[in-house]
Chains A and B, each alone.
Chain A
Amino acid sequence: MADKVTNPEEPESLQPRKSRRGLWVGIAAVVVVGVILAAGFTTSWFGLAGSGSSAQAVTLNGAGSTFALPVISAWSTQYRSLTGVQVNYQGTGSGAGINAIIAKSLDFGATDAPLNSTQHAQNPSLLTIPESLGAVTMAYNVPGVPSHINITGTIIAGIYLRTITNWNDPNISALNPGVTFPDLPIIPAHRSDASGTTYCFTNYLSVVNATWASQIGTAKSVSWPEGEIGAQGNPGVAAVVQGTKGAIGYVELAYSLQNNLAYAKVENAAGNFILPTLDSTKAAADNASRTLPAGDGDWSHVSVVNAIGADSYPIATFTYLLVYKELNVYPGGVMTQSRAQTLVSFLWWAIHDGQSAASTLQYVPLPSSVVSGDVTTIQSMTFNGQSLST
């Protein structure tokens, strides 16, 4: 190496450094390896890894809906402190959750949109369990305009189809006597990622507006008209609304409340303007759930949007857990009797005690009519044909 150096002053200064260089490389390597090892030790010391203390504890794995992520995470923490059972949940998105449960790589999947008819027909042994309810709010940022203005599904559709483009549109003013709307372009904001919130929102607009149904339709991600802003996740849409004058966006109730956004009263099927609250959403679910299918039935047409009832908030959605009715279907014996029993106990806890955690996160507790349906569904679960205790 030294013979390559052409500058005559260099070799002297290089010589002592050369021997130390090896030392420094060694130290760096030791530090890197040390950090990795230390990470392993600290997690087990502080019990973060979860496997150290209770070796016999069962771990349940679930994945899917990001809509349901906050509530299932809260359940996971609570359920672990109660029973020692670890529930891992990853918000991979509803589509991924459905795919994974169909591939039998999860104990349960979670999704905002029910299985479609084809998926249900191909996987008749999957049970659908509504686990929580959410409301989608119309949040807006219009200087000088108070929160809780009145709005209808037709106007929302007009805004998102870009036929209503200014806040001083007479159709909006007519619904809100006494409110002066500025001459300000409307900037509609929507989700850029595929999402159950979008599914619920487009489902609502398709139900109340024929133009929307024919031009855009209902899906987790749709082809939006030009001139609209897309943002990632509920926090992203909330941030767009918060920071953009003239913006309107659809976000889950919790995010509107957390960000102190102004949001609208939406006209329901009975013609009343209803504020999104836990009660008005629960009313919607209560009224819509009189006709829910059985747990192993086809849920593809279930929707809580535009529900009947004088007090029902019209833009609401269930999120669902997906599990196998007969649990001894997993390859390689990963599903045992005790694991199946743990899963059933967790589901039972989630739809009963778990519902109080839901309301602190601004998810709506399931109405009793839905819970009783879930009870029947969970009681129908079996392992090797034997029913499991609840």
Chain B
Amino acid sequence: MAFPFRRGARGARRNPTGSTWGDTLFHLGSGAAAIVLLALLGLIVLVLSLDAAQSIGVFGFGFLGNRIWDPNTDQFGALPFIYGTLVTSAIGLLLGVPVSLGIAIFLAELAPASIRAPLTYVVELLAAIPSVVYGLWGIFVLVPAMANVVDPALQSVLGFLPIFQGPVYGYGLLSAGVILAIMIIPTVAAISRDALLAVPQSQREAALSLGATRWESTRMGVLRYARSGIFGAIILGLGRAFGETIAVTMVIGNANEISGSLFAPGNTLSSVLASNIREAFGLQASALIELALVLFLVTLVINAFARIMVWRVFGERGEAVS
């Protein structure tokens, strides 16, 4: 792989067939790519902060706790959107993660080779479906199903819980959460599967040789070993849920309110931003940019968290998984 350049003794010392010239180029090139990324991040934060400065100046930290969003009276608060983002993402994780883990375990541990490859392909294909398609499916299939079947059933069985009370619309936090669950499944399932495959075969063999059943071997030998990788997958899925815009906007009902019921319409940081930024100016535009900043920082923290988790499993165990 060495470059066919000949240079001074300094290079020859490390690599008799070439020089450090190629290595220097390699370093500079990849370093530049990394710096471009950092510069982009920095510029995004800088521009968002500058554009949000007006709103930050007017509302201060009260912005985060204010429930009112009224462009007509220039009153803006982020609380309903932070609430909507957290609730829908939590529903997404609650519904999506068990299914994803089931898929991952099946693909890594149980599936016969003949269906493993096609199923893996299908899971990866799900990730390539544009979110607007999920949103359309949401409007025409999921929302009517939720309004006519799922929500009334939940209400009749679990109606004593405040989260399942109130009028049923179909459009609402629960529907958005279900869409998010479906959308995070490919990410969480694929990365969890990789983490499971990274578990050395000896772990399974050891558990089985001690007389463990298949389930016990998977639970104790494999899942425990891969848990930080699976955790990283979940955190990545959460990041996806936080940032998802179009599909959520299409089914969440877009009401700037905080309601105790999961059936009630709500709004997320990204969906209110997408809905309103085109026609906004002045203080409203600034407040929307501040929402973007809030979302950006939350996502940044989540992603950093996920990176550390992923590094812990992939970094420690080398390139066994890539």
Binding site for B on A (CB under 8 A): 1, 92-96, 98-99, 185, 187, 192-195, 216-224, 226-232, 236, 239-240, 243-245
Q: How far is the CA of A232 from the CA of B279 in the complex (A)?
A: 13
**Closest residue on chain A to residue B141 by CB atoms:** A243
**Is the CB of B302 closer than 8 A to any CB of chain A?**
no
Main secondary structure of the interface of B (DSSP, over half): loop
In residues 265-300 of chain B, which contact A (Cβ within 8 Å)? 265, 267, 271, 275-276, 278-281
Residue of A at shortest CB range from B281?
A95
A194 near B71 (CB under 8 angstroms)? yes
Asked if B203 lies at the interface with its beta carbon under 8 angstroms from chain A, I say no
C-alpha spacing A121/B68, complex, angstroms: 31
B264 touches A227 (CB 8 A): yes
Give the chain A neighbours of B254 by CB distance below 8 A. Answer: 192, 229-232
- Partner of B147 from the list A192, A195, A217, A244 (CB cut-off 8 Å) is A244
Cβ–Cβ contact B278 & A232, under 8 A: no
Beyond the given A192-B275, A222-B72, could you list 8 further A-B residue pairs with CB under 8 A, ordered by the A residue number?
Answer: A193-B279, A221-B279, A229-B253, A230-B265, A231-B250, A243-B140, A243-B144, A244-B143
**Which A residues lie within 8 Å of B225 (CB)?**
none
Interface contact A240-B279, CB-CB below 8 Å: no
**Chain B, residue nearest A22 (CB):** B1
Indicate if B69 sits at the interface (CB-CB under 8 A).
yes
Which residue of B68, B75, B255, B278 is within 8 Å of A193 (Cβ)?
A: B278
Tell me, rounded to whole Å, the shortest Cβ–Cβ distance linking A380 to chain B.
28
Tell whether, in the assembled complex, residue B72 and residue A216 are in contact, meaning their CB atoms are under 8 Å apart: yes
Q: Which residue of A lies closest to B259 (CB)?
A: A226
| Shortest Cβ distance from A6 into B: residue | B318
Closest 3 CB pairs of A and B: A230-B254, A194-B279, A192-B254
Chain A residues with Cβ below 8 Å from B271 are 192
Question: What does DSSP make chain A's interface, helix, strand, loop or mixed?
Answer: loop
Instruction: State in angstroms the CA–CA spacing of A98 and B285 once bound together.
Output: 14
Whether B143 and A187, one on each chain, are in contact in the complex, defined by CB atoms closer than 8 angstroms, is no
A223 touches B71 (CB 8 A): yes
CB-defined contacts of A239 to chain B, threshold 8 Å:
139-140
Bound CA span A228–B254, Å: 8
Are B279 and A220 in touch, CB under 8 angstroms? yes
Q: Which of A1, A185, A187, A221 contacts B71 (CB 8 A)?
A: A221
Contact of A92 among B250, B255, B265, B278 (CB under 8 A): B278
- Chain B residue nearest to A223 (CB atoms) is B70
Inter-subunit contact B255/A228 (CB<8 Å):
yes
Of the candidates B75, B140, B143, B278, which one forms a contact with A95 in the assembled complex, judged by CB atoms under 8 Å apart? Answer: B278
What B residues does A231 contact at CB under 8 A? 171, 250, 254
Q: Least Cβ distance of B162 to chain A in Å?
A: 15
Write the nearest CB–CB distance from A39 to chain B, whole angstroms: 19
**Could you tell me the distance in whole angstroms from the C-beta of B257 to the nearest C-beta in chain A?**
5
> With an 8 A cutoff between CB atoms, is B169 at the interface?
yes
Q: Does B102 belong to the interface (CB within 8 Å)?
A: no
Residues of A within 8 A of B71 (CB): 194, 219-223
- By a CB distance below 8 angstroms, the chain A residues around B170 are 243-244
Contact (A230, B278) CB under 8 Å given A192-B254, A219-B72? no
Q: Which of B69, B140, B254, B279 has the most CB of A within 10 A?
A: B279
Inter-chain contacts of A192 with B (CB < 8 A): 249, 254, 267, 271, 275-276
B31 CB, nearest partner CB in chain A, Å: 21
Q: Report whether A93 and B265 are in contact in the complex, using a CB–CB cutoff of 8 Å.
A: no
Q: Say whether B167 contacts A223, CB under 8 Å.
A: no
Asked if B256 CB lies within 8 Å of chain A CBs, one says: yes
CB distance from A234 to the nearest CB of B (A): 14
Compute how far the CA of A217 lies from the CA of B271 in the bound complex, rounded to whole angstroms: 24
Contact indicator A185/B167 (Cβ below 8 Å): yes
A229 near B147 with CB under 8 A, answer no
Hey, which chain A residues are within 8 Å of B68, CB to CB?
223
For B264, the chain A residues whose CB sits under 8 A away are 226-227
The residue that B1 contacts in the complex, of A1, A96, A218, A222, with Cβ under 8 A, is: A1
Residue of A whose beta carbon sits closest to that of B249: A232
A229 lies within 8 A of B171 (CB): yes
A-B contact pairs, 17 of them (CB 8 A): A92-B278, A95-B278, A95-B280, A187-B169, A192-B271, A192-B275, A193-B275, A194-B71, A195-B279, A216-B72, A223-B70, A223-B75, A224-B255, A227-B255, A230-B267, A232-B249, A243-B144
Contact between B276 and A240 (Cβ–Cβ < 8 Å)?
Answer: no
The verdict on A232 contacting B256 (CB below 8 Å), with A219-B72, A243-B144 known, is no
